[in-house]
Structure 1
Amino acid sequence: MNILIVGEFSGFSKNLKVGLNELGHKVSIMSTGDNFKKIKIDESDINILKYYTKRLNNKYLNFIFRIIIVYLNRVRLKLFLKKNYDIIFLLNAGFIVPGIFSIKAGLPLKWLKKFIIKGTPLFLSACGLSPALVKHAKELKYGFAYNKYESLYNDKDIRQFESICELCKKIIPMDYENEYSLKKYNSYSYINKVVRPILLPYDVSNTRYTYYETDKIIITHGINRYDAKGSKYILEAMHKIKNKYPESVDLFIPEHLPYEDYLACLDKTNIFIDQCLGYGMGVNASIGLAMGKIVLGGCEEENNKSIGIDAVPVINIEPNVDQIYNELEKLILLPSEARFKISLSSREFAEKYIDSKIIAKKYEQIFIDNK
């Protein structure tokens, strides 16, 4: 199949493409490279330019610059989208823009509808924020984390989101929160479209196992979306454990690094903290497991049931400094052999459940069954 993936989140598209290519499909990605992460593309992909309103100080030059960016994006996209696609996979409805002259970087809704009229099926991933998640996730355990997004979507955004949900064949959530929210959204209108959540893919086959210990245990937490990941609680717990065990612990806290630079920094990490405000694993957890790190993050029973896997080797943490600290202390006080064993279970899980080809097979089956 010839597949177009629209959007990028922390290497999700990049890693899914690896698996789909291995299965014999041709895949093109259309994205901004996930902004500062600057995720690399190949010749079959297109990086659309993103306009920033404060790019230039002169307002007249700024306006001209905006027009140029909009024009270049439209010309390049029109050429890129001349191909015929068997499947369009949209990572988030936010990657669709309302009009062809929108300053927002994305695929115009009008162009998407043209593909659908021609018979190209659309599939939607439920990852990242959406009107459904903002509305219903606050009914869940970590709902308070979504309060700040209540005014994020206006009526036009909500109508567009619902229009895209109507147009798509299936909606594929990445975790329990998205599954729950989408099934409840709009009076259960999309309940029959929402399939079982699928874990985020990672190219495990081409990732080295890199767990080793030196004189200090290195604890890492990458800062990107500070509030969304509960970094406030995580960082306080990390500094608390460092203060108690200064001779045994080092902290590594990378912030807003490009994707490839970020991955290169992680080799020496022993304990990798994803986030503490979710039911399941984020991208960082997948990366950590693939590298054989000891991973702390979301691992609630509801999410494990939702994805259909009982034994997930992620240590569940909550937005509670003492709880996170206690989990870190338990790990630090273990003999190194015990930590090494946890590390091996991380890698084994990644090979069995999140490798790009394994995840791609699940998407392939959904695409084939619902064309």
Structure 2
Amino acid sequence: MKILLLGEYSNFHNTLKKGLEKLNYSVVLAGRKDGFKSLPVDVSFEPQLLAKTPLKYLRYLLIKLFKFDIAAFETSYYFFRNKHKLKGFDYVQLINEYPIKSTPYFDKILLKFIFKNNNKIYVSACGNDVIYLNYILNADLPHHILTPYIKNPKLKEHFKYSLAYLNTAHKKLHNFVLENAEAYIPGDMDYEMAYKNHPKAKPLIPFPINIDLLAYKPVKIKDKVKIFHGINRINYHKKGNDFFCSALNFIKEKYPNQVDIVEVENIPYKDYISLYNESHILLDQVYAYDQGYNALEAMAKGKVVFTGVSEEFLDHYKIKKRIAINTTPNLQEIIDNLSYLIENPKEIESISKNARDYIEEIHDYKKVAQQYIDCWNT
């Protein structure tokens, strides 16, 4: 059985590939490298000439003047140059409806080749997509990733990448993918809720985590509590980094001799991982109902993560122990939770162990890979 994973998002498809290979399947990962994270792929569509030469300045100028990224042409060129490597697969999974990240118009053309020259095509529901964004805008939710924009439309520029999925071009791409794909597979509770009644939705399959690669070390706090906050400037408001920054400013003053705080911004994935390895607490996001990739990988290492641990999530997996800190857009609540952990370091040690146990039970990349095989074969 040959499998093509098309597109990458926060190490999801890299980890799924390793899980499938552990089960002795042949897998190719093709796509771009998820921006500054620079994740590895087997077949790359990542722009080179327009990203790493002086031509990048022309690219930036044209983006500013015409709102069009000419790197889409280079991405499409790399796709067609490698198209012989992208056909004849039994199963293809798209990272989402916009997996190649050229433009919606170009992606539709490129995906026609994928649909025509491969067998069954599935779509992972994660990241931005038309169904998810329409759901959160119309559902009666206490909060979601667009909440800051809804409350303050002046923040529109910070949400332009998400809001773009509501335009006509993306809707046309969505309709094309929806018509031709076998099914959509939600990757966490945020998308399970959005796709719950959709006729082409499969049951949730959790994100795979490489528990063999991410070693767990029992937490023993002997001195200061170490807190890590990684900022992705593009998603600053979308993730709620502003709440974390404000909370940390308060914590620095309240516990000057009890905490070490590390904050970094827009660094490659490998550097990001190495920097948070020594931390006890990781601040992830405030608007989610489940955990994304950064949170899950940190939990695998035994970090206490501030992220989405909603009632819907707890009910779905029947979780009774505290595996992370449920975080909502409530500054005082974040400060109170941080303060409690700093004053009760034994609680950090307990949550750390629970987090690792949860990852091993639910997110083991080999178990998850088998769930995908079973889903694709159904």
Q: Post-superposition shift, 1:111?
A: 4.5
The answer for the alignment partner of 2:153 in structure 1 is none
Equivalent residue in structure 1 for 2:185, among 172, 175, 178: 172
In angstroms, what is the RMSD of aligned CA positions?
Answer: 2.9
Give 1:157's match in structure 2, choosing from 166, 170, 173: 170
Q: State the partner residue of 1:358.
A: 367
Q: How far apart are residue 228 of structure 1 and its match?
A: 1.3
Tell me if the contact between 2:104 and 2:173 (Cα under 8 Å) persists in the aligned partners. no
**Which residues in structure 2 correspond to 1:211-290 (within 5 Å)?**
211-224=219-232, 225-290=235-300
Letter aligned with residue 78 of structure 2: N
Tell me what 1:38 maps to: 38
Q: Which residue of 2 aligns with 1:325?
A: 335
Query: Quick check: 2:98–2:104 contact (8 Å CA) kept in 1?
Result: no
Contact 1:32–1:105 under 8 Å retained in 2: no
2:94 and 2:123 in contact (8 A); partners too: yes
Specify whether residues 258 and 165 from structure 1 end up closer, same or farther in structure 2 by C-alpha distance, changes over 3 A only. Answer: same
- Aligned match of 2:119: 120
- Partner of residue 300, structure 1: 310
Match of 1:202 among 181, 200, 209: 209
Q: Residue in 2 aligned with 1:181?
A: 194
Choose which of 74, 77, 97 in structure 2 pairs with 1:93.
97
Question: What secondary structure does 1:92 align onto?
Answer: coil
CA contact 1:196–1:306 (8 Å) conserved in 2: no
Deviation sequence 1:204-253 (CA, Å, 0-9, x none): 11212243434211111211121111111112112211210110011111
CA shift in 2, pair 1:106/1:310, >3 Å: farther
After TM superposition, the score normalised by the length of structure 1 is 0.86
**Which is worse superposed, 19-28 or 349-358?**
349-358
Matches within 5 A, 1:12-91: 12-41=12-41, 45-50=42-47, 51=50, 55-57=56-58, 69=74, 72-81=77-86, 83-91=87-95
Deviations 1:237-291 (A, max 9, x none): 1221121011001111121111111111122100112111011101111011110
Aligned-partner Cα distance in 2 for 1:337–1:71: 53
Q: 1 CA distance for matches of 2:115 and 2:14?
A: 24
Deviates more, 1:351-360 or 1:13-22: 351-360
The sequence identity of aligned pairs, in percent, is 29
Report how far residue 76 of structure 1 moved: 2.8
SS at match of 1:221: strand
Instruction: Indicate how the Cα distance of structure 1 residues 181 and 242 shifts in structure 2: closer, same or farther if over 3 A, else same.
Output: same
Residue by residue over 1:304-332, the C-alpha shift from the partner in whole angstroms, topping out at 9 and shown as x without a partner, is 33456555612101101100111111111
What amino acid does structure 2 have at the position aligned with 1:299?
Answer: V
Which whole-Å CA distance do the structure 1 matches of 2:40 and 2:114 have between them? Answer: 26
**Post-superposition shift, 1:352?**
1.6
Matched AA of 2:81: R
Q: CA separation of 1:29/1:309 partners in 2, compared to 1, >3 Å: closer, same or farther?
A: farther
- Aligned 8 A contact 1:298 1:317 in 2: yes
Change (3 A) 1:11 1:227: same
Structure-1 separation of matches of 2:92 and 2:291: 25
Match of 2:135 in 1: 136
Residue 35 of structure 1: CA displacement? 1.3
The residue number in structure 2 matching 1:100 is none
Q: For the Cα contact (< 8 Å) 1:170–1:193, is it kept in 2?
A: yes
Closer/same/farther in 2, CA of residues 193 and 312 from structure 1, 3 Å limit: farther
* Residue deviations 1:123-149 (CA, integer Å, cap 9, x gap): 111100111122111322214246444
Question: Which segment drifts farther, 275-284 or 148-157?
Answer: 148-157
Moved more, 297-306 or 150-159: 150-159
**Alpha-carbon distance change, 247 to 54 in structure 1, aligned in 2, over 3 angstroms:** farther
Superposition deviation, residue 175 in structure 1: 2.3
**Structure 1 residue identity aligned to 2:359:** A
Gaps of 5+ in 2: 151-155, 157-161
Residues 312, 178 of structure 1: CA spacing in aligned structure 2 closer, same or farther, 3 A cutoff?
farther
Conserved in 2, the CA contact under 8 Å of 1:198 and 1:307?
A: no
Q: Secondary structure at the match of 2:204?
A: coil
Partner Cα distance (1:198, 1:59) in 2: 38
TM-score by structure 2 length? Answer: 0.84
Cα distance change on mapping 1:158 and 1:202 into 2, 3 Å: same
Going from structure 1 to structure 2, the CA distance change for 1:134 and 1:200 (only over 3 Å counts) comes to: same
Q: Secondary structure of the residue that 2:82 maps to in structure 1?
A: helix
The one-letter code sitting in structure 1 at the alignment partner of 2:281 is I
Cα distance change on mapping 1:108 and 1:135 into 2, 3 Å: closer
- For residue 80 of structure 1, what is the amino acid of its counterpart? K
Q: CA deviation at 1:117?
A: 4.1
